[in-house]
Amino acid sequence: MPRRRIGFWYRLAACVVKPFLLLFFKRDWRGMHHIPAQGGFITVVNHNSYLDPLSYAHFQYNTGRVPRFLAKESLFRKGPVGAMMRGTGQIPVYRETSDAAGAFRAAVEAVNRGECVAFYPEGTLTRDPGLWPMEGKTGAARVALLTGAPVIPVAQWGAHEAMPPYATSKRLRLFPRKTLTVVAGPPVDLSEYQGVEPNTEVLREMTDKIMDAITALLADVRDEEPPATRHVHHRARTERRDPSTASAEETTE
């Protein structure tokens, strides 16, 4: 299956964002050879800063396989951001409506067309005190089970030093220059689940394996031992959600 062309809008976004990232940050990129050259696939990425979607997108753009993110529908409505979201083919999520499952269907269709769909399985910025990945939601596992596509774990670190999560000030801390580390690992081995009915227990087991793979990559980057248990975040319905990681997972559990 042919790979999706990058297209005008993605190239325009790169022209806007890449100079900023190249000027103010150093890069430590590893594992780009794990990004499939052809065919549909899923990436699963940890999240510890509002800035890190840009560092991950920069990393994968340079592989020639651009990701499609799931983002809240309001970002698509108007202005330059909306035009960019629509033009680059991102997937809108309609929360708490009859269209909520549409993002999940769109993700499956995109992967089946040979594209990459990027999931932030935590669903929000990590609340773990040490910024380790939290327990994941099951959307990526469900898409993997329905499509049979490879799931590529991606760990990133360093963006939080420039924009700490949940800091009272959103001011960027650009100096001294920070290093944005992005590491892609080999596909998560989910072969034992092929052809299995996607029930709650199976999806949770798959998701735990996915989160284990991301955590192991991050532990190697940080040269630290992760916690013995994974933080579980119970989101209040009134809590402000992170627009950079709005995802179909919330409609599939």
Task: Provide mean pLDDT across the span 119-137.
Answer: 94
pLDDT band with cut points at 50, 70 and 90 for residue 248:
very low
The closest alpha carbon to 46, from 179, 209, 214, 207, belongs to 214
Task: Provide mean pLDDT across the span 121-140.
Answer: 94
- Percentage with pLDDT > 70 across the chain: 84
- Percentage with pLDDT > 90 across the chain: 59
User: Which whole-number Å values give the CA distances from 22 to 59, 67, 179, 212, in the listed order?
Assistant: 12, 20, 11, 31
Both tokens assigned to 22? 């190249």
Q: Is residue 58's pLDDT more than 80?
A: yes
Burial class (CB in 10 A: 0-12, 13-18, 19+), 36: middle
With beta carbons less than 8 A apart as the criterion, state whether 245 and 120 touch: yes
With beta carbons less than 8 A apart as the criterion, state whether 184 and 152 touch: yes
Per-position DSSP letters for 1-37, written without gaps between them: -PPPP-HHHHHHHHHHHHHHHHHHEEEEEE-GGGS-S
- Angle in degrees, 0-180, between the axes of helices 52-61 and 7-24, rounded to the nearest 10: 120
* Per-residue pLDDT tens digits for 78-115: 777 677 777 777 787 776 555 556 678 888 999 999 99
| pTM beyond cutoff 0.75 | yes
Q: Considering Cα of 141, then 146, then 151, then 154, what sign does the dihedral take? A: negative
With beta carbons less than 8 A apart as the criterion, state whether 210 and 34 touch: no
Q: What are phi and psi of 67, to 5 degrees?
A: -85, 155
pLDDT band with cut points at 50, 70 and 90 for residue 190:
very high
Residue 221 is predicted with a pLDDT of 97
Q: Is residue 242's pLDDT more than 50?
A: no
Task: Provide mean pLDDT across the span 207-235.
Answer: 94
